[in-house]
Amino acid sequence: MNQLEINEVRRYLEELEEAREQLIKVAREVSQLVRAVVSLSVRRRREDAHRYYQELSDRFKSLLEVSSKHPELTYSNFFYSIAAEYVEAVQLYSVVFEGRLLTLSELNVHPIPYLLGHADLIGELKRLSLEHLRRGEYRESFTYLELAEGIYEELSSIDIADPIVPGLRRKLDVYRKVIDDWKVLLIDIESRVKLEKICGKILERGLTSTD
């Protein structure tokens, strides 16, 4: 009777464990860079954002190299989560500074984190929209709302069981409310601004006619 090939299995598992530890280390670096790219993009600090964006792209490539040798890591929820963060950050950067969304092939990610990353992009588009609103840039603010609604509608059109794309349905439920509240806020503020302008003109005419 043949013996179990324990030594061969042990070597494989040790390599897998080593790769996982390396993946975790690089993933931490990726997460830090993601936060920097998002923050700088929202504040429209192009030069600084570009520097971190380049570094993020390089580190993500390293992440892909580590995981590519072990399918168990590539298709793990942990890797999906990091890749989704990457998608969220680089798409926000591209929207702000290039005025477009990158394609799936340009992002070079698996379709699952591609979808999850775009769901979370909705929240960052809201931050961007509110930053424009704070500066009184209402047209730009509505532009990002429209983009977020478009992304939401595209994602909602995918009728896939939740275990296939873990967490997507829950994210969409959350972001439906986010978009509704966001739209109400923008319309309310825009209406108030228009009303103030009308009242100001009426007041100005009244003072002029009195003179």
Q: Minimal CA–CA distance to 90: which of 115, 62, 121, 68?
A: 121
Task: Write down which residue in 103, 119, 152 finishes a domain.
Answer: 103
CATH number of 51's domain: 1.20.58.2140
Is the pLDDT assigned to residue 175 strictly greater than 60?
A: yes
Residues 166 and 99 grouped into a single domain: no
Helix axes 6-42, 46-68, angle to 10 degrees: 170
Task: Write down which residue in 103, 122, 146 finishes a domain.
Answer: 103
The pTM assigned to this predicted structure is 0.86
Residues 88 and 58 grouped into a single domain: yes
Residues 99 and 116 grouped into a single domain: no
In which band, very low, low, confident or very high, does the pLDDT at 189 lie, cut at 50, 70 and 90? confident
Distance in angstroms (rounded) separating the CA atoms of residues 205 and 199 = 10
Residue span of the structural domain in which 150 resides: 110-211
The model's pLDDT over 130-139, given as tens digits with 9 standing for 90+, comes to 999 888 888 8
- Over range 13-18, report the average pLDDT: 89
Query: What is the Cα gyration radius of the chain?
Result: 23
Residues 117 and 88 grouped into a single domain: no
Residues 24 and 80 grouped into a single domain: yes
Three-class SS state of 165: coil
26 or 122, greater pLDDT: 122
Residues 4 and 98 grouped into a single domain: yes
The model's pLDDT over 76-91, given as tens digits with 9 standing for 90+, comes to 889 999 999 999 999 9
Residues 88 and 180 grouped into a single domain: no
Task: Write down which residue in 103, 123, 156 finishes a domain.
Answer: 103
Residues 77 and 124 grouped into a single domain: no
What's the structural domain count of the chain? 2
Residues 115 and 208 grouped into a single domain: yes
Residues 148 and 193 grouped into a single domain: yes
Q: Minimal CA–CA distance to 140: which of 150, 131, 152, 151?
A: 131
Residues 21 and 98 grouped into a single domain: yes
Residues 26 and 80 grouped into a single domain: yes
Distance in angstroms (rounded) separating the CA atoms of residues 23 and 80 = 12
Query: What are the structure tokens assigned to 11, written together?
Result: 């070597």
